[in-house]
Structure 1
Amino acid sequence: MRRFLLALLPLTLLTGGCTAVGYDMIETASINPRFHDTKPIDFGERHPHRHQVHGIDVSKWNGDIDWPEVRKSGVSFAFIKATEGKDMIDPKFDGNWRGASAAGVPHAPYHFYYWCSSADEQADWFIASIPKAALKMPPVLDVEWNHDSKTCSYRPSPLTVRSEMQRFMDRIEAHYGKRPIIYTTVDFHADNLVDQFKNYHFWVRSVASHPSDKYDERRWAFWQYTATGAIPGIRGNTDINVFAGDAGNWKRWLTAMNK
């Protein structure tokens, strides 16, 4: 818990009395990274380039990645798909993990939750797949409705969703010593997570408008603002995200994560 409080401190200082709506409205200089959005959205004054720290999330769908080029483009972090359900590992995970490490890109593994397997089965699989010493950033639990799944149409009740999430996250935190980040989408959050898990960092998807327009009273640490990014070193479209704090907050947060 001490490590989590240290990690939370920079974001607490950042928000200092702000409402959830103003959570990410920090005074930072706009940045000019060497990447862009192929289908940009007009976010108005609350545009993501007000934030200094941008990152990506990747999986097998991004193919072979030139991580040194990614790093040179201005990418500051990467969330890398690791596991799904109780027995699937992303086939590009090992290469992406090693590539990000060698290029000096801070990175974290994420687990895509499968609602037709138990929390313990999935925690066992994640723990068996990801060495404890490998984690520098907190692991991520990706919870969303998988509308395209051909094997699992089950949608548990909100109480069951939250119970399963808590069990999985408790197991992961106990093993790795880092409290997981929760990734979620607008519809899943509205169905299950409003006013829940306030002691966890959230990574939210909102590609059509600012998160404050979509997530009821939710403070967030990371915002996935596009799925159509163009990043040097990656072929095709790429998700791009921002960190809520400025560059100083980011450095302090990473330092706290490694104590």
Structure 2
Amino acid sequence: MPRLLLALVATAILGTGCTSTDYDFVETASVKKLPFKDSDPQDFGKNHPGRHEVHGIDLSKWNGDGIDWATVKKSGIAFVFIKATEGKDRIDPTFEKNWRGAAAAGIPHAPYHFYYFCSTPDEQADWFIANVPRGAVTLPPVLDAEWNHASPTCKLRPDSATVRDVLQRFMDRLEAHYGKRPIIYTSVDFHRDNLVGSFNDYQFWLRSVAAHPGEIYAGRRWAFWQYTSTGVVPGIKGETDINVFAGTAKNWNSWVATVSDNKTVASAE
């Protein structure tokens, strides 16, 4: 399927019958409780994550390398975003073990890249492509775009126009290579500073651990919501980030089938 058509079909699947940034809360309202425990649960009010049917996790080296993937799958985890690379020269040491474990368990997965503003988008795209095989990208790859407050080496904050320009270049490179339009992960402050009103033809994964994203990302349509960093998932030691998909289980299955149906990518392995 041509790349542009693939993106349009995926967008159409997510958008069918949706009239708000919440996709289809009416259909998912019957789901009352969160399926996973939380070490520090928040009160999200009526629009809580338990109203969504499809839950997933995101992982990095901080989760360790002793994950029991069969138990994770059995617990009900439907997807996993896995940290792959940072900047132009760092790779997460657990990346390969994690994506292969997820693949063996039959859990749809995608790698993510933490963007550094102290190197060029082409340098970072080259690094990602060199370290992330197409087999690790069953779901679209993710661009993690946020300010890096804790970095000892890169505290650069370009103006918003420059930010959007370099992110676009990076995503264009990934889409051309993997045949899937990237998902954008972001935080409240970075979105406010750089992304409001931009990249509306991309799917967003939003961090919002104290309130529903509709309350703090006004007008932003989202596909994934990271609602906690203190979740408890069977098969993983310690606390874990947990996310929900915006649509129903039926929407999810259709979307996964669409973004995974890339014969060009599959034949390149």
TM-score, normalising length: structure 1: 0.96
Percent pairwise identity: 62
Alpha-carbon deviation of 1:65?
Answer: 1.0
Secondary structure, aligned partner of 2:31: coil
Structure 2 Cα separation of the partners of residues 138 and 249 of structure 1: 16
What are the residue-to-residue correspondences of 1:238-249 with 2, within 5 Å? 238-249=240-251
d(CA) in 2 for partners of 1:210, 1:34 = 18
> Which residue does the alignment assign to 1:44?
45
> Structure 1 pair 138/31, CA: closer, same or farther in 2 (3 Å)?
farther
For residues 61-108 of structure 1, the C-alpha deviation after alignment (integer angstroms, 9 at most, x for no partner) is 001211111111110000000000001110000110111011111100
- Give 1:25's aligned residue: 25
Rounded to whole Å, the distance in 1 between the matches of 2:60 and 2:17 is: 31
Corresponding residue number in structure 2 for 1:35: 36
Of residues 70, 80, 83, the one that matches 2:82 is: 80
Give the aligned residue type for 2:246: A
Aligned residues: 256
1:2 pairs, out of 5, 21, 37, with 5
Asked whether the 8 Å contact 2:188–2:216 carries over to 1, the reply is: yes
Tell me if the contact between 2:138 and 2:260 (Cα under 8 Å) persists in the aligned partners: yes
Deviates more, 1:188-197 or 1:31-40: 31-40
* Structure 2 residue runs without a partner (length 5+): 262-269
- Aligned equivalents of 2:45 and 2:68: distance in 1? 33
1:250 pairs, out of 245, 252, 255, with: 252
Distance 1:222 1:6 in 2: 18
Matches within 5 A, 1:64-75: 64-75=66-77
- Counterpart for residue 147 of structure 1: 149
When the two chains are superposed, the root-mean-square deviation of aligned CA atoms in Å is: 1.3
Query: Runs (4+) of structure 1 moved beyond 2 Å?
Result: 22-26, 31-35
**Matching residue within 201, 206, 215 for 2:208:** 206
1:25-174 pair list within 5 angstroms: 25-28=25-28, 29-30=30-31, 35-63=36-64, 64-174=66-176
Q: Distance in 1 between matches of 2:253 and 2:20?
A: 24
Taking the aligned partners of 1:81 and 1:73, their CA distance within structure 2 comes to: 21
CA drift at 1:136 = 1.3
CA contact (8 A) 2:109 2:136 kept: no
Structure 1, gaps ≥5 residues long: none
Paired residue secondary structure (2:27) = coil
Letter aligned with residue 5 of structure 1 = L
Q: Tell me the CA shift for residue 24 of structure 1.
A: 4.9
In structure 1, what is the Cα distance between the partners aligned to 2:259 and 2:231?
Answer: 28
Work out whether residues 14 and 245 of structure 1, in 8 Å CA contact, stay in contact via their aligned partners in 2. no
CA contact (8 A) 1:110 1:140 kept: yes
- Tell me the SS of whatever aligns to 1:226: strand
The TM-score with structure 2 as length reference comes to 0.92
Output the amino acid matched with 1:84. E
